[in-house]
């Protein structure tokens, strides 16, 4: 008869012990402490910090609070942080920039404060409204505080955005396509040819005037003082006519047969005629 009460007592003890054990296993403080340690071992320090903060509250027992406080301090020392900054091409700080990390939202606007992130390589995307986005791949080192992650937007803020700006620039390129150096030289040569022809005509006229006043006789003998000037003017006239014809022909050939190319450095030829009573000269200059 004593056996039956003993069995009933053991059964009652088992039933009373099982609910108590289950209650301990479901204690949120104990669960947070356990989960925080698992995350700490996996180097997910941001998530581990949140768990240790939960089990360090006044709702948990003193023993659990003390253990979680110690582990939280260890996590805080190892947890790295970054400071996100963005500037424009002039070096001015930008504020209205949203940032995501590895595809997850991080900040809606920059504020200069440090942000805690887990250690490891991360892709930070900076987005500027109306302009575009920039990506930075950074390896965040465990234990390093206030690591700087900075970008520079090398475009002006515009409602068109960088794609539209690029299209506008591409459409403007053909506007200067026909202004090739060959055609520029052709026009310069043509102008120089006209100047040379004019110089030849003026020099010929001077030679005729000088010959008329040289008192030449029927045999062709003239005043010796004027012979040199007459010969110089006549020679310059011949050179002007020949050079003018060559320059005109060459210039029109370049204009007609040079294909249109990209705009390059402007080439130019400058001729300045100088005419005196005893002859003339041409002062020439060129730029390529």
- So what's the pLDDT on residue 135? 96
Q: Bridge partners of 285?
A: 270
Do the beta carbons of residue 192 and residue 251 sit within 8 Å? yes
Alpha carbon distance 66, 71 (integer Å): 9
Q: Is the pTM of this model over 0.75?
A: no
Residue 262: predicted pLDDT:
43
pLDDT of residue 241: 72
- The long-range contacts involving 225-232, CB below 8 angstroms and separated by at least 24 positions, are 228/278, 229/277, 229/278, 229/279, 232/278, 232/279, 232/280
Q: What is the pLDDT of residue 93?
A: 95
Per-residue confidence (pLDDT) for residue 255, from 0 to 100: 73
| Pick from 68, 77, 73: nearest CA to 37 | 68
Residue 22: predicted pLDDT: 43
Could you say which residues of the chain have pLDDT below 50? Answer: 1-24, 157-178, 262-265
Q: Which residues contact 160 (CB under 8 A, 6 or more apart)?
A: 168
**Alpha-carbon span 124 to 133, nearest angstrom:** 10
For residue 170, the model assigns a pLDDT of 42
């Amino acid at each position: 008869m004593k056996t039956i009460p003993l069995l009933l007592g053991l059964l009652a003890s088992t039933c009373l012990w099982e609910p108590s054990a289950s209650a301990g296993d479901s204690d949120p403080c104990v669960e947070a402490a356990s989960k925080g340690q698992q995350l700490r071992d996996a180097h997910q320090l941001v998530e581990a910090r949140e768990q240790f903060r939960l089990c360090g509250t006044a709702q948990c027992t003193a023993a659990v609070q003390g253990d979680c406080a110690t582990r939280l301090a260890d996590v805080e020392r190892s947890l790295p942080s970054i400071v996100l900054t963005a500037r424009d091409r002039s070096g001015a700080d930008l504020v209205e920039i949203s940032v995501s990390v590895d595809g997850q939202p991080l900040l809606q606007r920059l504020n200069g404060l440090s942000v805690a992130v887990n250690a490891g390589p991360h892709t930070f995307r900076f987005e500027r409204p109306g302009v575009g986005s920039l990506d930075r791949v950074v390896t965040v080192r465990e234990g390093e505080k206030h690591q700087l992650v900075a970008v520079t937007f090398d475009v002006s803020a515009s409602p068109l955005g960088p794609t539209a700006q690029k299209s506008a620039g591409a459409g403007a390129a053909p506007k200067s396509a026909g202004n090739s150096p060959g055609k520029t030289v052709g026009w310069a040569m043509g102008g120089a040819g006209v100047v040379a022809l004019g110089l030849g005509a003026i020099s010929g006229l001077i030679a005729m005037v000088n010959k008329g006043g040289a008192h030449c006789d029927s045999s062709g003998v003239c005043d010796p003082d004027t012979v040199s000037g007459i010969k110089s003017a006549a020679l310059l006239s011949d050179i002007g006519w020949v050079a003018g014809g060559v320059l005109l022909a060459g210039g029109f050939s370049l204009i007609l047969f040079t294909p249109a190319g990209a705009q390059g450095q402007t080439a130019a030829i400058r001729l300045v005629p100088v005419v005196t009573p005893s002859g003339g000269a041409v002062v020439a200059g060129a730029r390529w």
